[in-house]
């Protein structure tokens, strides 16, 4: 269901309302940018067509906007026109299933928030255990990154960070040297417990990600935490990350060139 406003409205009164009145009443109470579908309304199955028709009339009148097939939102007006919902709202049906977290925003969606770039992409990347082909939703391309770790609310920020380290060469409008400096600034404030968790999660990432994280941690005088990372690597494999040696003095041990 959309929102708990019905706590103040009895089911008896809902049933007495006309479908259009009920939908209008509900939408009035929604926050701007909230994404919803016809299935979010508390009405009988036999009312489905009436709900869809009412929503489409509201789209035509400009009261609500259509994000994609079957998905609507209450637009927020600005001097430049209607603002789109935030990315988490656009893909929220792909991040949670039956109340359980199944995915998280990552990649292009997080580089700006992590301070790695000033660019904002129209590609929304989602980390999931089970991925699917890319597809379009409104003006966005929805893409997926395979995540081998269990996804929990607590470890999502660390998975987002590890994904960014993994794709360091693909961060828009950034280079490896400046990105390394930014990663150091982020990890520097981590507690020992957080670093331990970061290392544990990193063990399921590709070797180059593990090597770069190991170099970061040693640069930050966290060498004791890197033992598992170092043992997990092939000692003769080299990792080419042009610019990393300018930001890190620890690259030689980790075979980063």
Model confidence pLDDT, tens digit, residues 47-97: 778 888 888 899 898 888 888 888 888 888 777 767 778 888 889 889 998
Contact assessment for residue 19 and residue 50, using Cβ atoms and an 8 Å cutoff:
yes
Does pLDDT of 43 surpass 70? Answer: no
Model confidence pLDDT, tens digit, residues 1-27: 454 444 444 444 545 567 778 888 888
* Confidence at residue 46, expressed as pLDDT on a 0 to 100 scale: 65
Tokens 């620890």 sit on residue: 250
Closest CA to 156 of 91, 201, 115: 201
* Confidence at residue 22, expressed as pLDDT on a 0 to 100 scale: 81
Closest CA to 58 of 27, 89, 80, 30: 27
Does pLDDT of 225 surpass 50? Answer: yes
**pTM recorded for the entire structure:** 0.79
- Beta bridge partners, 73, equal 35, 65
* Confidence at residue 12, expressed as pLDDT on a 0 to 100 scale: 47
The full set of domains in the chain, from first to last, is 4-82 (1.10.10), 87-151 (no CATH), 175-257 (no CATH)
Backbone dihedral angles phi then psi of residue 115, each to the nearest 5 degrees: 75, 25
Which pair of tokens denotes residue 211? 């090597």
């Amino acid at each position: 269901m959309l929102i708990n406003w019905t706590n103040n409205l009895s089911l008896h009164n809902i049933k007495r309302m006309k479908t259009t009145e009920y939908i209008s009443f509900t939408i009035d109470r929604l926050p701007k940018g909230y994404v919803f579908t016809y299935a979010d309304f508390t009405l009988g199955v036999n009312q489905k067509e009436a709900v869809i028709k009412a929503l489409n009339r509201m789209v035509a009148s400009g009261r609500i906007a259509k994000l994609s097939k079957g998905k609507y939102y209450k637009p927020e007006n600005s001097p430049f026109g209607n603002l789109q919902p935030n990315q988490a709202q656009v893909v929220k049906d792909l991040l949670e299933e039956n109340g359980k977290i199944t995915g998280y925003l990552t990649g292009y969606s997080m580089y700006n928030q992590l301070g790695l770039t000033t660019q904002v992409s129209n590609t929304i990347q989602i980390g999931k255990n089970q991925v699917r082909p890319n597809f379009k939703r409104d003006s966005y391309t929805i893409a997926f990154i395979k995540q081998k770790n269990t996804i929990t609310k607590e470890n999502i920020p660390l998975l987002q960070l590890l994904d960014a380290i993994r794709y360091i060469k693909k961060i828009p409008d950034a280079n490896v040297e400046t990105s390394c400096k930014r990663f150091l600034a982020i990890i520097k404030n981590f507690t020992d417990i957080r670093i331990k968790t970061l290392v544990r999660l990193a063990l399921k990432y590709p070797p180059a990600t593990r090597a770069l994280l190991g170099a970061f941690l040693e640069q930050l005088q966290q060498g004791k935490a890197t033992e598992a990372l170092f043992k997990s690597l092939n000692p003769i494999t080299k990792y080419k990350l042009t610019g990393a040696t300018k930001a890190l003095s620890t690259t030689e041990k980790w075979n980063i060139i």
